[in-house]
Amino acid sequence: MPVFVVTKKMCIIVLILLAAASIALIAIFAGGKKESEPQNSITTLTEVGEYELNALPALSKELPIYGVGREDKKIALTIDAAWDTDKTAFILETLDKYEIKATFFLCGVWVEAYPDYVKQIAEKGHEIGNHSKTHPHMNSLTASQIQEEISLLDDEIEAITGTRCKLFRAPFGEYNNTVVLAVRDIGYEVIQWTRDTVDWKESRSTQQILDSVLPNLTSGDIILCHNNGYKIEEYLPTLIETAMEQGFEFVTVTELLLSGETTIDNQGIQQAK
């Protein structure tokens, strides 16, 4: 008489098969019930349709410009200035030495404290961008508060330089749909970055900073630095020299942006339509 050994594995397989069969029977029964109750089916479809219509807008996110889709090896160096100024003279001298122009995103506190440097930046032909009046978390503000942060600072910048800004960079790189749309509604473009030096971290070495930018540098990149970056006096000349040796040309952000009809892809890269 044959002997069958029932293993634990066999028991599990049998239980799975029984569960699958039960689900199939339930599905068949439910399908028959729906056929006899067309009104309930219509209600269900309507609810699904309404859910999809409500969910789709939530999936749509407005993006700022992180970089630009171009092939001519043009890149932009950007410098955020919100605190201190002990390294600003060195930065300006270095830019003069290599005969390149950068885009400085200035905060209201910095503009008020160092108007002479604001004027000097403009007179040297560098671009000035708006970095907000009080350096707040923009996501916590209403559209009108966001626009006020920008316009109040631009009034101060215009009084010093004679011109208003075209570009805006949110403090902390923080944004949402409200921020992006409110900024664009008053004629500014929101600018982020593709290469971050993270030079505000004291623990980062000069080599770590350079390694975070140079190996993957590509046309249309926007590099983020800070005027009080801990190692900026050490890394900035090497960053500029190496990029130029690789054939890259430094331009302002406005010069980097594409003209004509453009779109922003899902990576935040501005592309020609």
Cα 129 to its chain centre, rounded Å, is 16
Q: For tokens 């623990």, what's the residue? A: 203
Task: State whether the Cα torsion 154-158-164-168 is positive or negative.
Answer: negative
Query: 10 Å Cβ neighbour count for 210?
Result: 17
Which residue is catalytic, options 96, 196, 226, 265?
226
- Measured CA to CA, the distance from residue 54 to residue 56 in angstroms comes to 6
CA dihedral 102, 158, 83, 180 (to 10 degrees): -80
Query: 10 Å Cβ neighbour count for 72?
Result: 12
226 is catalytic: yes
For residue 254, the surrounding DSSP H or E stretch is helix 253-256
Do strands 127-130 and 74-81 pair parallel, antiparallel, or not at all (unpaired)?
unpaired
Which residue is catalytic, options 80, 154, 199, 221?
80
Residues annotated as part of the active site = 80, 226
